[in-house]
Amino acid sequence: MVENPLPLGEASCGAGEQLVLIAGPCVIESDELTREIAMQLARMAERVGAPLVFKASFDKANRTSIDSFRGPGLDAGLATLERVRDETGLVVTTDIHLPEQAEPAAEVCGVLQIPAFLSRQTDLVVAAAAATAKHGGVVNVKKPQFLAPEDTGHIVAKCVDAGNHRVLLTERGTTFGYGRLVNDMRAIPVMQQTGAPVIFDATHSVQLPGGATTGGQRDMVPLLARAAVAAGCDGVFAETHPEPDTARSDGPNMIPLAELEKMWVNLLRIRDVVLDPVV
């Protein structure tokens, strides 16, 4: 059995709990910028009074072009995330792409994220689950764009077998044709049948794959996020940046940092209705 609700620092995520926001820039562009964004998000979380997990990638290994910016790498990236954790008190998360990255990342990050394209790589999933179990953390696995939601149960089973009962699943859209992702909100309750809390990735769901760089429709992020919270998701994943149009990865689908708090407050109101519906 997986743990639900499961602990995220001093907060909990899952059935009956407050909505969790996972937010931060797509990639660590610099130590200074990443820490500044984290401080702003920590202050935002304090104002809003809701749990926030800070996310940033040390390496974007799944970029479309060989020339695209990937990040500072494992050692420098984890050093930045460790400073973020210590300076803000936030739980931090990052994605890993290789089994050998699991142990050092789990020493710093309370949550390890498995990218959607890699979530059927058993060695990677098992390594992440084992490392996070060792350090008391959580593994968050993104549902592949090509996978039926009910089949995520096999991913959860791999994590539990590797020793970690603290598993999150993330819905991030399904491939439709070549240049679109679509969201079937039925996936949220179906994935919750695995026992794991489910996060909705609002920013990657609006990606427009293809071309030299991936496009996106950031104006659709709040709409999809509201629908997902109404459908019962336990948290929302939203990448953010002070100036998304200058961001070095996933700018077209990121929420401007100045607009995130308004969206978050609206989502919390919807979550309140979901938890305490009018009879």
* Span 73-119, pLDDT tens digits: 999 999 999 999 999 999 999 999 999 999 999 999 999 999 999 99
Q: What is the reported pLDDT for 68? A: 74
Q: What is the reported pLDDT for 179? A: 78
Q: What is the reported pLDDT for 79? A: 98
Q: What is the reported pLDDT for 187? A: 98
CATH code, 6-274: 3.20.20.70
Spans of the chain below 70 pLDDT: 63-65, 67, 210-213, 279
This prediction's pTM: 0.95
Q: What is the reported pLDDT for 211? A: 65
SS (H, E, C) the chain: CCCCCEEECCEEECCCCCCEEEEECCECCCHHHHHHHHHHHHHHHHHHCCCEEEECECCCCCCCCCCCCCCCCHHHHHHHHHHHHHHHCCEEEEECCCHHHHHHHHHHCCEEEECHHHCCCHHHHHHHHHHHHHCCCEEEEECCCCCCHHHHHHHHHHHHHCCCCCEEEEECCEEECCCEEECCCCHHHHHHCCCCCEEEECCHHHEECCCCCCEECHHHHHHHHHHHHHCCCCEEEEEEECCHHHCCCCHHHCEEHHHHHHHHHHHHHHHHHHHCCCC
Q: What is the reported pLDDT for 150? A: 97
Q: What is the reported pLDDT for 130? A: 98
Q: What is the reported pLDDT for 213? A: 66
Q: What is the reported pLDDT for 5? A: 98
Q: What is the reported pLDDT for 61? A: 77
